[in-house]
């Protein structure tokens, strides 16, 4: 069974940083591109970042480019998202997803002073 | 970015009746490999999204055959036949032909 378990969310002040993790199991992690998607409270879904199978290629939504960094450790079956220079507009549940066919439960990031 | 426009945004349905959701894209979603990467997902209250349909019309494993997807190019439809109480939630279309992938605004399906 495919499982994606996010962690690392929490309350952070504007301008602060967080590192999100996503532990993957039940599939060959290194064979799949991976993604982060976020959902602000009461709002819709928005793609944030993508990383290729070997980590050599990454892409970002314009809203996070230069502030967020996606990475992966295929030896540990783990996906990461480093969030820097956070603003209140980054407040959201962040989901790790294997394409669109498997999703984690999400981790809440709240940016507030 | 590709804009996906869903309609209606709210869909009250009587149990046992059918419901249809439209998704229109700002440009053709046919990929260079010939596939059309238009998906449908549902998000129940308090839950993560779940994909129901991939590549326009292919149901994911475990999805009842009451769910069907159709369309081509820029116009797509999700149809839910014989709506059941468990079908309530927000339905999103999503395109994965172009980066950034994009979602529609979501359609709230509720029982009358």
Q: Report pLDDT digits (tens) over A51-109.
A: 999 999 999 999 999 999 999 999 999 999 999 999 999 999 999 999 899 999 999 99
Confidence class of residue B2 from pLDDT cuts 50, 70 and 90?
A: very high
Q: How far apart are CA B50 and CA B42, in angstroms?
A: 5
Q: Touching check for B82 and chain A: CB below 8 Å?
A: no
Calculate how close chain B gets to A59, using CA atoms only, in Å: 8
Residue of B nearest to A44 (CA): B105
User: Residue A25: is its pLDDT beyond 90?
Assistant: yes
Find the mean pLDDT for residues B10-17. 97
> ∠ at Cα A36 (A32, A38), nearest 5°?
150
Q: Touching check for A106 and chain B: CB below 8 Å?
A: yes
Q: Report pLDDT digits (tens) over A83-99.
A: 999 999 999 999 999 98
CA proximity to B36, closest of B74, B91, B92: B74
Calculate how close chain B gets to A45, using CA atoms only, in Å: 6
Collapsing DSSP to helix, strand or coil, B78 comes out as strand
Find the mean pLDDT for residues B9-29. 97
CA proximity to A68, closest of A52, A46, A90, A53: A90
Query: Which contiguous run of DSSP H or E holds residue A9?
Result: none
User: Residue A13: is its pLDDT beyond 90?
Assistant: yes
Scanning A5-34 for CB atoms below 8 A from B yields none
Q: Touching check for A63 and chain B: CB below 8 Å?
A: no
Considering only CB atoms, which chain A residues are within 8 Å of B39?
A: 100
Q: Report pLDDT digits (tens) over B41-90.
A: 999 999 999 999 999 999 999 999 999 999 999 999 999 999 999 999 99
Task: Tell me the percentage of chain B whose pLDDT exceeds 90.
Answer: 98
> ∠ at Cα B73 (B72, B74), nearest 5°?
105
Kindly determine whether residue A47 and residue B101, on different chains, have CB atoms separated by under 8 Å: yes
Task: Tell me the percentage of chain A whose pLDDT exceeds 70.
Answer: 100
pLDDT of A99 reads: 84
Kindly determine whether residue A59 and residue B103, on different chains, have CB atoms separated by under 8 Å: no
Kindly determine whether residue B48 and residue A103, on different chains, have CB atoms separated by under 8 Å: yes
pLDDT of B95 reads: 97
Identify which of A59, A61, A106 has the shortest CB distance to residue B48.
A106
Q: Which residue out of B10, B49, B104 would a mutagenesis test of the A interface target, given it has the greatest number of A Cβ atoms within 10 Å? A: B49
């Amino acid at each position: 069974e495919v499982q994606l378990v996010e962690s690392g969310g929490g309350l952070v002040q504007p301008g602060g940083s967080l590192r999100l993790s996503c532990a993957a199991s039940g599939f060959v992690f290194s064979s799949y591109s991976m993604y982060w998607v976020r959902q602000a409270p009461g709002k819709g879904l928005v793609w944030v970042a993508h990383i290729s199978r070997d980590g050599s290629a990454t892409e970002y939504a314009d809203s996070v480019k230069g502030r967020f960094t996606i990475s992966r450790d295929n030896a540990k079956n783990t996906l990461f998202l480093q969030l820097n220079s956070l603003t209140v507009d980054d407040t959201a549940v962040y989901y790790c997803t294997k394409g669109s066919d498997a999703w984690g439960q999400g981790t809440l990031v709240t940016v507030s002073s | 970015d590709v804009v996906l426009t869903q309609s209606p945004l709210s869909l009250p349905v009587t149990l046992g009746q059918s419901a249809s959701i439209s998704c229109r894209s700002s440009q053709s979603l046919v990929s260079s490999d010939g596939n059309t990467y238009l998906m449908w997902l549902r998000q129940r209250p308090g839950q993560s999204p779940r994909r129901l349909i991939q590549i326009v019309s292919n149901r994911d494993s475990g999805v009842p055959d009451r769910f069907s997807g159709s369309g081509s190019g820029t116009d797509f439809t999700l149809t839910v036949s014989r709506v059941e109480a468990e079908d309530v939630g927000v339905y999103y279309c999503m395109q994965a032909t172009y980066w950034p992938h994009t979602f529609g605004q979501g359609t709230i399906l509720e029982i009358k």
